[in-house]
A and B are shown apart, each in its own frame.
Chain A
């Protein structure tokens, strides 16, 4: 295999291209008067084609475009993760956007391009391309967060995300500059090839660069102390966008962190300590802050911070077990978190609802199935067997204990027990509380039902057959780095 292949081989970016073509079609269709209605379908087709292309790439290991793209199992796995996320978010979004009167075709184009950006991030070993991918992912996200322009909440979420996002990107870029200064290249493969030499040559530059890159991606996954934007943006953004936020950019950030810090700059002592501290802080702060929330979206925001913490535990540990556990956890998390957001979105399509806890009261009486599904997702988030959430945590913590990070595992487990409290509050409110206000029934739509079915099957399926999923996530371990 020629690692610095000069070949301009389009077949390795077919999934990206399909998304791009769909986005372009949507943008062209804007001028048609029924664009609102056809745009989601174009987007859907684009994603499905993209998924098909990914399956064609399965198992191929290729590099192209002068080494700027590496199409390896790791990247392809993440491409699939991004596509599934986009697909589910799209299905969640459709009815919501109509009910809130913000169903504009551009939204779907932005969703597609953002997904494409994530793919770019995950499928390269070049830091500059990772940076560009990050920007292609983020710029649409800024707009999507503020998409409900006339809502003060949404536009505030947009500006906050924009400022913090651009701030973080600047640090990331500075980090890349330092790495470039130390190694004369931004290609991770070349850096790793000469790693010891470069490290002995200019250690301070390399370490600064790593720290700043870590900060940049830590921001994307919502690691403490770079997390402050998460709750505000999650609360303010339109709910389907929040759903997308809570998994898409997070998965992309983790892909980049894995590629750079686990496959790339492994065995740097200082890094593992920093990861250790970040993991502990992220888990604890996320969980503790979630205790007092009265808004479900905000609660899920803090919970997503906590979950990023669990994944950081896996990154701290390193090694094949932990990485496959991280990928496993990520997939599981996508399932039950998007499921939870689908329920929240469904609740919010009722007029006048703001996702406050009080709006859940009576859910179990009016919609017993929906309440049961919500309960399942909450238990999965809290990590009960036999849901996917339990095995995600089980693999991560057992990997940690096996590698001797016993305290980290203990803190992680304590945290996951703490988290039960607030997840249980959601269940308790929807089952056991009563109020004088009557519950306004929700209207199901086909797309939401599809999402709920997929996520329920995913949550339970991964829990009942964790082995198959673990094998699958282990197959993602092969990367060019």
Chain B
């Protein structure tokens, strides 16, 4: 067993465990931290797959920005206690749901196992890893030539997300004439 395999196995286990811990946590802060662990492990997997640049981006954007945003909201709403959620429901009640997700995973695994592709004969697919695969240069070159249009689209997406977030989170003062009552429909 070589080092690659060891790293893969360890980070795969960490990624899956972190994710599992996230969904079973009752405390949101702990959940964010578990998710962060899972993300770090995923970044390792990225790097193993020669996606050096994206591995770095994953850590910076996700761990550094998105999850911090989550934490920030949790702090803002003071959600560290879990009282307001009430008692947790039993495992039995969710058995069907576990089963469904398990089925989905099994289906995927079966598909992947049964027909892992022979894609090498496809047009434009190389047998050898090209020079500079996964580096900033190679990604950036594509991003600003072939994928210019989608790249620009993401800017619109982020713009609209900002507008949406501002609209939603802002506390309105003058502009919002009071509706009939707080519970009134619409």
Contacts and interface: CB of A to CB of B under 8 A. Distances in A.
In their complex, do chains A and B touch, with some C-beta pair under 8 Å?
Answer: yes
Interface of A: 8, 20, 27, 36, 65-66, 68-69, 100-102, 104, 106, 109-110, 113, 116, 120, 126, 128-129, 132-133, 135-136, 139-140, 142-143, 146-154, 158, 181-185, 190, 194, 197-198, 201-205, 208, 238-239, 348, 351-352, 354
B179 A148 contact: yes
B117 A182 contact: yes
Interface in B132-186: 145-150, 153-154, 156-157, 159-161, 163-164, 166-168, 172, 175-180, 182-186
A419 B104 CA distance: 36
Please name the 9 residue pairs, one residue from A and one from B, whose CB atoms are nearest each other, closest first: A101-B177, A143-B164, A65-B149, A68-B149, A204-B115, A202-B117, A66-B146, A132-B153, A204-B111
Nearest to A96: B186
Contacts of A109: 163
20 contacts: A68-B148, A106-B163, A116-B156, A120-B153, A136-B156, A139-B157, A139-B161, A139-B164, A140-B160, A142-B164, A143-B163, A143-B164, A147-B167, A149-B168, A150-B178, A150-B179, A182-B119, A183-B119, A184-B122, A208-B107
B85 interface: no
Contacts of A106: 163, 166-167
B114 interface: yes
Contact of A132 (B107, B111, B154, B183): B154
Contacts of B157: 132, 135-136, 139
B119 to A, nearest CB: 6
Contact of B163 (A27, A66, A348): A27
Contacts, number: 132
Contacts of A205: 111, 115, 117
Contacts of A136: 153, 156-157, 160
A151 B153 contact: no
B124 interface: yes
A113 B156 contact: yes
B95 interface: no
Nearest to B166: A106
B179 A184 contact: no
B143 to A, nearest CB: 11
B150 A36 contact: no
Contacts of A132: 150, 153-154, 157
Contacts of B180: 351-352
B77 interface: no
Given A109-B163, A136-B153, A139-B164, A153 B186 contact: yes
A8 B116 CA distance: 37
B183 A152 contact: yes
B168 A143 contact: yes
B163 A69 contact: no
Contacts of A208: 107-108, 111
A8 B124 contact: no
Nearest to B117: A202
A198 B114 CA distance: 16
Nearest to A124: B149
Contacts of A181: 117, 119
B123 interface: yes
Given A106-B167, A135-B157, A205-B111, 19 more contacts: A68-B146, A69-B149, A110-B167, A126-B150, A136-B156, A139-B164, A143-B163, A143-B164, A143-B167, A148-B186, A149-B168, A151-B179, A151-B186, A153-B185, A185-B124, A194-B123, A202-B118, A204-B111, A205-B115
Contact of A8 (B123, B148, B185): B148
A1 to B, nearest CB: 18
Given A104-B167, A140-B160, A202-B115, A128 B185 contact: no
Given A136-B160, A194-B123, A201 B117 contact: yes
A181 B147 CA distance: 18
B185 A129 contact: no
A150 B108 CA distance: 42
B68 to A, nearest CB: 20
B128 interface: no
A111 to B, nearest CB: 11
A150 B170 CA distance: 12
Nearest to A68: B149
B85 to A, nearest CB: 16
Given A102-B176, A140-B164, A352-B180, A129 B150 contact: yes
Contacts of A68: 146-150
Interface in B76-119: 107-108, 111, 114-119
